[in-house]
Structure 1
Amino acid sequence: MRRFFKITGLVILLVCLVPAGFWIAAQMRESQPASALRPENGQFVETAGGRIHVSVWGTPDARPVLMTHGMAAWGGLWEDTAQLLAGRGYRVIAMDLAPFGFSDRSDGDFSRSHQAERLNQLAQALNLEDYILVGHSYGGGVALEAAVRDSERMAGLVLICPVVKLIDGSFDPASEKVPAVLNIPVITDMLVASTIGNPLLTGTLTKRFMHRKEGLSDRDVAILQQPMPREGNGKAMIAWLKQFLTEGAAPLSRHREAVAGLNLPVTLIWGEEDTVTPIALGEELATIVAPQAFHRLENTGHMPQLEDREAFGRILGDALDVLTASSGSAEGR
């Protein structure tokens, strides 16, 4: 029996020490400013709402495409897709949605409404006109919110497996709660350091979002890890998560009537094997926005830009061409 208690005690000690070890490693790692970590093609843009980091591909005179990313990613993850689009005559501007990547996050407001405001302020600061907005996953919800709020500068919207979370009149904001454990700082710090902020798990966690897991490359993992040494990274992730879990009714893009009123050509792209935002959600969204096209990708999950790069790049490029042509026709009438 004494041996049993010794073994049990050792197990408990290890369970406590391992997360603590990851937390200590995170404190040592998170020491660099965003300016020291940004990529070669990265630029900081001063906007009315703060400094936004963007990754840019293509020539300055090409048709602009503004892209948003998913949870725990940043603009650099669009690299392969962006290069394909640049080869087709587009200028790709991939913004970092705070707290991810390298954009300013000092105000601590990561709500969908505020993210959309940042996006529209970025478009204004860059003087983008008739640009096409492309949003993936979490960034798809932000893109839809930005379009619903102000689409004047936009020529079209492409949503890729977006996280929208539509609500109806029976929605009760109290139903969205932060788990009690996330209100205990020492636990949340170690939880983030052991999971989303742990470089050892970047590949494993990313593959959970994918159907074709072999699509994730070592280069992708390195890109995802690039912002991890940024100062205050873990605490910013916790703040984002709490706000994401309790969005409430404030985002206009959660309301069917607001989304239905969107006066903008829309294209939907969805993986048929997506388990994060199942394609049934896409079918529901399609009944509201009446998209110009709804591309269903066979044998593909939530990360089509990684799971089948060439096919996805071709489909997205074709969708942009159609939206560009539609915009030109509308201007000519």
Structure 2
Amino acid sequence: MTRWIRRFAIGAVVVVTGLIGVLAVGLGALRLAAHLRETESAAAAAPADGKFVDSGHGRLFVMDPAPPGGIPVVLFHGTAAWSKLWWRTTAALKADGYRPIAPDLPPFGYSERQGGYTRAEQAARIDGMMNALGAGRAVIVGHSFGAGAALEYVLRHRDRAIGLVLVDAALGLTQPPSDPPALLAYRPLRELAVAATATDPLATRFLLSKLIYRKDAASDETLDILKAPMRVTGTTSHIADWLLYFTGSDRAALSASRDEVSKIKVPVAMIWGDRDDVTPLAQANDLRALIPQASLKVMQDVGHIPQIEDPAAFNAALIDAIRQLASADPAVAHAGRN
């Protein structure tokens, strides 16, 4: 019996070792594929309907399709997205007389990837971009992980914000602070993880489907948008560095403090999918308890990315929220009367 147990144990070790070897080879192949794919400069790869703006903290790629004059609406995208994912929303805002401004938050999209990725650093980039664009005061909209940077911007630059709209916000306010997993301190391991997920075009549909309730929203058009920046040089390496910020807590951020958030001085509106299991509706209710004056619009049969799952209903809800925020601002209301 002992001999058979020993043989079984040896066999199990051989199988596990073989599987680890196969996994290592597979991950290595994905990392090599990413290296071979990421060959274009951001300037060459960026779409012609956007522009680069010097923020003072690196050049940001920005979609700014409307002429100056309307109320600026700044759209902060979420993880692994970029400005183009707002394409239906920017069109609706422009048609309604607003000035939508959608930047790429580095390391995503085509913006220059320099400096750090804390919420305060992202807020500083946006403030520099707004100055460069001469945009003045704006309604700030933040989706998912980008909502942290959007909230940070409002808390640090409240004189620049007419109001704040949080869309299925991933703020981490209901969780204790934590550090990134120790394994991620090893940069090559982070790069392997990113190459197998965020920058693997073959994984994009699967990953997107895990975030949305309406699976048909993972259309070829949407997938092509998400994949487009994957050919920019250094994408996997830069996202691997960002992963440390994503998996740990930004303890220095004002937007990570429940006390600071509860003192917010600008009006707040929230839009949330009732089927969101990434940032469940309970988190929106927690925010309402923290900011009692905030309004909440719950969208039906929608998951974590309402702007692609039900764009018509989302755009209507967003425009309604913007109108309410603007009407509560004395300066905007006075300008409207004139």
Q: Work out whether the TM-score is over 0.5.
A: yes
Report the 3-state secondary structure (helix = DSSP H, G, I; strand = E; otherwise coil) of the residue aligned with 1:17. Answer: helix
TM-score, normalised to structure 1, is: 0.91
Larger Rg belongs to: 2
Counting only pairs closer than 5 Å after superposition, residues 70-89 of structure 1 correspond to structure 2 as 70-89=78-97
Q: Residue 156 of structure 2 is aligned with which of 141, 145, 149?
A: 149
Which residue of structure 2 lines up, in the alignment, with residue 182 of structure 1?
Answer: 184
* Offset at residue 332 of structure 1 (A): 3.2
Which residue of structure 2 lines up, in the alignment, with residue 240 of structure 1?
Answer: 242
Q: Residue 163 of structure 1 is aligned with which of 159, 170, 181?
A: 170
Q: Residue 274 of structure 1 is aligned with which of 264, 273, 276?
A: 276
Does the CA-based 8 Å contact 1:39-1:55 persist in structure 2? no
* Offset at residue 68 of structure 1 (A): 0.5
* Offset at residue 167 of structure 1 (A): 6.4
Paired residues in the alignment total 326
Does the CA-based 8 Å contact 1:97-1:103 persist in structure 2? yes
Report the residue type matching 2:253 in the other structure.
P
Does the CA-based 8 Å contact 1:112-1:247 persist in structure 2? no
Does the CA-based 8 Å contact 2:118-2:250 persist in structure 1? no
- Between the aligned partners of 1:307 and 1:319, the Cα distance in structure 2 is 19
Does the CA-based 8 Å contact 1:111-1:247 persist in structure 2? no
Does the CA-based 8 Å contact 1:268-1:291 persist in structure 2? no
- Between the aligned partners of 2:133 and 2:242, the Cα distance in structure 1 is 26
Residues 4-49 of structure 1: per-residue CA shift (max 9 Å, x gap): 79x9476554323221111111111112111011112211111222
TM-score, normalised to structure 2, is: 0.90
- Residues 78 and 159 from structure 1, CA distance in 2 versus in 1: closer, same or farther, beyond 3 angstroms? same
Q: Which range moves more in the overlay, 114-123 or 26-35?
A: 114-123
* Offset at residue 191 of structure 1 (A): 1.8
Report the residue type matching 2:301 in the other structure.
N
Which residue of structure 2 lines up, in the alignment, with residue 99 of structure 1?
Answer: 107
- Between the aligned partners of 2:324 and 2:118, the Cα distance in structure 1 is 32
Does the CA-based 8 Å contact 2:275-2:304 persist in structure 1? yes
Report the 3-state secondary structure (helix = DSSP H, G, I; strand = E; otherwise coil) of the residue aligned with 1:66. Answer: strand
- Residues 239 and 59 from structure 1, CA distance in 2 versus in 1: closer, same or farther, beyond 3 angstroms? same
- Between the aligned partners of 1:318 and 1:12, the Cα distance in structure 2 is 53
Which residue of structure 1 lines up, in the alignment, with residue 61 of structure 2?
Answer: 53
* Offset at residue 277 of structure 1 (A): 0.8
Does the CA-based 8 Å contact 2:55-2:126 persist in structure 1? no
Report the 3-state secondary structure (helix = DSSP H, G, I; strand = E; otherwise coil) of the residue aligned with 2:64. Answer: strand
Does the CA-based 8 Å contact 2:174-2:283 persist in structure 1? no
- Between the aligned partners of 2:236 and 2:136, the Cα distance in structure 1 is 36
Report the 3-state secondary structure (helix = DSSP H, G, I; strand = E; otherwise coil) of the residue aligned with 1:52. Answer: strand
Q: Residue 49 of structure 2 is aligned with which of 41, 52, 61?
A: 41
Report the residue type matching 2:151 in the other structure.
L
Report the 3-state secondary structure (helix = DSSP H, G, I; strand = E; otherwise coil) of the residue aligned with 1:227. Answer: helix
Does the CA-based 8 Å contact 2:326-2:333 persist in structure 1? no
Q: Structure 2: 5+ residue runs without aligned partners?
A: 1-6
Which residue of structure 1 lines up, in the alignment, with residue 26 of structure 2?
Answer: 18
Does the CA-based 8 Å contact 2:137-2:162 persist in structure 1? yes
Give aligned-pair identity as a percent: 34
- Between the aligned partners of 2:293 and 2:241, the Cα distance in structure 1 is 34
- Residues 61 and 32 from structure 1, CA distance in 2 versus in 1: closer, same or farther, beyond 3 angstroms? same
Report the residue type matching 2:134 in the other structure.
N
- Between the aligned partners of 1:247 and 1:124, the Cα distance in structure 2 is 29
- Between the aligned partners of 2:332 and 2:312, the Cα distance in structure 1 is 30
Does the CA-based 8 Å contact 2:154-2:160 persist in structure 1? no
Report the residue type matching 1:198 in the other structure.
D
- Between the aligned partners of 1:177 and 1:319, the Cα distance in structure 2 is 35
Q: Which range moves more in the overlay, 69-78 or 45-54?
A: 45-54
Report the 3-state secondary structure (helix = DSSP H, G, I; strand = E; otherwise coil) of the residue aligned with 1:122. Answer: helix
Residues 178-228 of structure 1: per-residue CA shift (max 9 Å, x gap): 223212333222221111110001111011111111112111111111111
Does the CA-based 8 Å contact 1:273-1:302 persist in structure 2? yes
- Residues 10 and 167 from structure 1, CA distance in 2 versus in 1: closer, same or farther, beyond 3 angstroms? closer
Does the CA-based 8 Å contact 1:167-1:255 persist in structure 2? no
Does the CA-based 8 Å contact 2:171-2:255 persist in structure 1? yes
Deviating 4+ runs (over 6 angstroms)? none
- Between the aligned partners of 1:137 and 1:282, the Cα distance in structure 2 is 12
